Each structure stands twice: as structure tokens, then as C-alpha cells.
Amino acid sequence: MKLRPLGNKIILEAASKEEVTKSGIIIPDTVDKEKPEQAKVLAVGSGKINKDGSRSKVDVKVGDTVLFSKYSPTEIKLDDKEYLVVSEEDIMAVVE
């Protein structure tokens, strides 16, 4: 099954939550950090509809790696895979 986001919604695949330090210490996702999350863009909606009926262009594209605020996404599970859905406004930056 495929997901097709509507409007200004974006479907993300979260990056691995475990981090490994340079010395090889694994920091699990249970460590509470107040920092932006990183994910890969899997699908992009067609854009928000403006008051005049035109659509706004979405600034991210499939394949981009983005940063978003920690508590903004809605988590969904489909076919045993977990995805995140965010609004375009919740994305803070594209990692280049």
C-alpha cells in the first residue's frame, strides 16, 4: 500500500534513533534530548490551497533529508513500517 499526502502534508521516514559516539558508545533513543529530529522525505503533498484558489509550492522534495521539531509529527504504522506525517510548516531545514 502506498501513502499519498494531501495539501501541505509530507510523509517522512525517521532516521535511526540510536547514535554512536566516535569512541563507539551507543546512545539509545531513550535518552531524552530536546533537539530537532531528522528524517528522509518519502512523499510530498501538492501544496496548500491559497485564498485565491492557487496552490503554494512545497519547498521540499522526495529524497531530501529534513529537520523538524520533535513533537510535531503524527506517527502512523502501515504494513509493519512506521512513518511520520508533518505539515510543511513543521519542517525547519533541509540538510544539504
CATH of domain 1-14+38-96: 2.30.33.40
Whether the CB-CB separation of 78 and 96 falls below 8 Å is answered with no
* Domain extents in the chain: 1-14+38-96
**What pLDDT is recorded for position 26?**
65
β-partners of residue 86 are 10
Q: For residue range 18-47, what is the model confidence (pLDDT) as tens digits?
A: 566 667 776 665 555 555 688 999 999 999
Query: What totals of helices (H) and strands (E) does the chain contain, helices first?
Result: 0, 8
